Amino acid sequence: MINLFDIERAYLQGEELPEINGMYNEVAEDANEEQQLEIWKQVCGFANVAMLDQLIAKGWVAARVEDRYGNTLLHLMAQAPNARNYVIPEQRVYETTKQLLAAKVSPLRKNNEGDTALMLGARAGYSEMLQAYQEIGAKIDFTDRNGNTLLHIAAQYASEERLSQFITFALLAMEFGADPYQKNNIGETAIDVAIRYKSKAIGALLNGADLSDENTGQLYLQAGGMDVFQACIYGDAGALKALIQLGENLNEAYDKAGDNHHGMTALAITMVKHDFDCTDLLLKNGADPMLRDSKSWHPFRYLFTPSSSVNTGFGDFERKTFERILKSYLEAGFDINSLLDDDENTLLTLAAKHADRLPLYNGNTIATVLIAEAIYANADVNKTNREGISPLMYLGLGDASRAEKNFLTLLEQGASTELRDKNGKTALMYAVNNSDRSVAKTYCELLAEFGKPLLDAKDNAEKSALDYAVAQNNEPLVAWILEKQ
């Protein structure tokens, strides 16, 4: 007794359609409604137009067939069972689509997921289905529940093994008026989707690249529809290199409202991503190592943001990522004492300011690493920011694991113990106010070892280091200050 599994095996083994159709005639003879649905599903899925004609001739009504998921026969054809194991010969999808449309199967109906049959066809790269729809003037510009057009869908589902099908589908859809720049519900164009799913050929085509150009075609293919910013966001050094060869500007700010990277330079994006390869590529090809972005932030400022913290891991420190990035900047002409924001912070000041806020990885943070690197790159250890705060003052507030080693290094490299911030506070006062009483005393003792800690100085509020020690209820430190006075 022949069944549908036998027929499926015959398809996959390459049997001729007349023989397969003979098998169907035996199965279809006394089929009930449920069995008829399974036959329809298989016949349409394999785009067997000859058998489709026979079923319609038997009086089977194609227009009213619908499975429990709301799929019509057009949907079932587009779902392509065994797509990886069975290649439907050319023109069969076209002919099957035409026959189903002629049999009054609606091209407008959506299934329970809100997808038209053509949307499912886009997932399979069925350009012949699209052609058949266009010829009868069927509506092809529906969007799915997420606002995705046929181009969005094709870009998402394009696969390397059937890439030519998807390229043909995308080109045909654009010829028929599909807009690659139309946005879905989350503001993505079809180009954005192609980039996200790494469908480079589709992305390049949707972006208007002429891949046949012998001079630039391969470069556009490598870029995959991306601009410089997207190449940096996705960490695609190959795409970035291609864009550089195509002459793209590396010093513009990203203009995409609503995007997390809006207003940032390419270097700022690679900094927040901790991407040494793309950073180095940009700097070696003309990106300005001193340029600030629309927020007046230098790329290094972004290392001390929540987005950067999320991207931090043990591997960054094992690979010495931050040391290598700084070295690349210095080789490109970065001034280690330049101001990185409108608060007049240098790299050293910023790192010291955030020393106590960043997570530790085997005793390291971005701040601890960069403080040491900046110091030995001849950073001015006494340069203060707009608030008059020096790196030493900031580190005076840090805990032992995050700050003590660099606190000592600053003193060894000539950090002044006598500077005052705009509120009149000294480095000693900062150290006294450390939340750890033991660490506070240690820092104060170190200050006394390397200079004058200004024990009797008072700030603008007329408070001395002793007053703050008393307020902190740090009795050992109070005793030490009294002894030193």
> Tell me: the pLDDT tens digits for 365-402?
999 999 999 999 999 999 999 999 999 999 999 999 99
Distances (CA, A) of 130 to 116, 121, 142, 151, 261: 12, 8, 13, 12, 37
Residue range 325-351, pLDDT digits in tens: 999 999 999 999 999 999 999 999 999
pLDDT value, residue 258: 85
Q: What is the pLDDT of residues 18-52, one digit of tens each?
A: 999 999 988 888 889 999 999 999 999 999 999 99
Q: Is 314 exposed, middle or buried (0-12, 13-18, 19+ CB in 10 A)?
A: exposed
Q: Is the pLDDT of residue 352 over 90?
A: yes
Sequence-separated (6 or more) residues with CB below 8 Å from residue 234 = 195, 196, 226
Q: Name all domains of the chain by residue range, CATH numbers in brackets.
A: 335-485 (1.25.40.20)
At which residue do the structure tokens 């280091």 appear? 465
Of 167, 66, 71, 148, the closest CA to residue 117 belongs to 71
414-446 pLDDT, tens digit per residue, is 999 999 999 999 999 999 999 999 999 999 999
Residue 82: band (very low, low, confident or very high) from pLDDT cuts 50, 70, 90: low
Quickly list H helices, 176-227.
190-196, 200-206, 217-223
Q: What is the pLDDT of residues 284-326, one digit of tens each?
A: 999 999 999 999 999 999 999 999 999 999 999 999 999 999 9
Residues linked to residue 253 through DSSP beta bridges, in sequence order: 265
